[in-house]
Amino acid sequence: MTASAARVTAVDTYDIRFPTSRQLDGSDAMNPDPDYSAAYVVLRTDAGDGHEGHGFTFTIGRGNEVQVAALDALRPHVVGRPVAELCADPGSLSRDLIGDSQLRWLGPEKGVMHMAIGAVLNAVWDLAAKRAEKPLWQFLADAEPEWLVSQIDFRYIADALTPEDALGLLRRGRAGAAARAAALREHGYPAYTTSPGWLGYPDEKLSRLARAAVAEGFTQIKLKVGADLADDIRRMRAARAAVGPDIRIAIDANQRWNVPEAIEWTKALAEFDPYWIEEPTSPDDILGHAAVRGAVAPVKVATGEHVQNRIVFKQLLQAGAIDILQIDAARVGGVNENLAILLLAARHDVPVCPHAGGVGLCELVQHLSMFDYVALSGTTENRVVEYVDHLHEHFRTPVEIRDGHYRAPLAPGFSAEMHPRSIEEYAYPDGTFWTADLAAAVRTTHEGNPA
């Protein structure tokens, strides 16, 4: 078959779950028992080149089956598409997926359907970068500004960012891009770690992991807060004692508070010099974030991991509601929409410090920040990508951290591909881990209730 005739032949979906709640990994004030999970999608083709497109969206356990069902609903839009045309213009699929009026009714452009659209589009970008034999960050950085602009939906954001604005930003970003790409390959991109700060960890573990993070070269850590103020004061005191005065400590409430409570709680922790307060209230409350920001300065306000689309990000920026914008690679409509959000942030001169962790979110979002540095913002000043040391071993090209920096990925693609054995083991409910786990639970029940 000629390359031009190759088509997408299958969209395979998987419900992948890991039992992270058993060690309280990922625990916070709003999500005390997360089981890190991925609604995972693979685009297969008849091109004969061995390339597949891998993508996923992140959930925390139950409900992952709903997310997989949303992926399945998009299959008719993808199967049969010419591979070359799809990779040359992922935006065409984005417009079709978002424009399906019956599925759009479930959003529009938010929630489970929009996350599914993002997973499929991320799989397309993975496939396109593999076919181009480049890591995604480089694939994007090398692209012509006009083509990148063609991939963005400017509907609903043109009052804050026009195509002409975007083109100007991207053209200016090309100056010095080659030197920045070389510096990125040599030094990497700054990271911070949340690994010490999960709410369920005892103080001894928090302090030990915080000291280890500093020894490993991190200059910022993050603590979860918001369940109990006295506990948070004690934990912040322990963390500050462990890392000293010169390491930044961010705090994250995971949407726990009303606006007045967010202000009061953050001020109560101010003596420990928190760098930012993350998700102090509902991610949809633009004016609430603005009120918090005005009241807690110089503590910065950050949000974004649950912001549903470019339109809400636009309003957060227009309202002056945030100091730090936190994109998420798997929450919005894929690379296409994240390009729009990065450009909105650049237009408003607000630094982007992405959310990561979970299953594979570090692997994905590193590419977006590296593109931003090389070809858009041109700086890493006051910019860091979150890092959490969980589950990287399940990916073919896992992130590499050295001296508190993400090393630039060199393998072609979006770093999204999981090992087949991990899919086989952790697919729910029929993977080998889950079937053995269920059998063990049944035995325990029988042993505890003898006939």
C-alpha gyration radius of the chain: 22
Q: Which of 114, 130, 355, 392 is catalytic?
A: 355
Active-site annotation holds for 419: no
**Pairing mode of beta strands 274-278, 300-303:** parallel
What's the token pair of residue 372? 């931003």
User: Taking Cα atoms as reference points, which of 182, 155, 194, 186 lies closest to residue 26?
Assistant: 194
**Of residues 224, 314, 390, 394, which has the active-site annotation?**
224
224 labelled catalytic? yes
Beta pairing partners, 43: 11, 53
Strands 385-387 and 189-197 turn out to be parallel
Q: Which amino acid is at 252?
A: D
Alpha-carbon torsion 438, 440, 446, 449, what sign?
A: negative
Q: Are 376 and 192 in contact (CB under 8 A)?
A: no
Task: Write out the catalytic residue numbers.
Answer: 224, 355
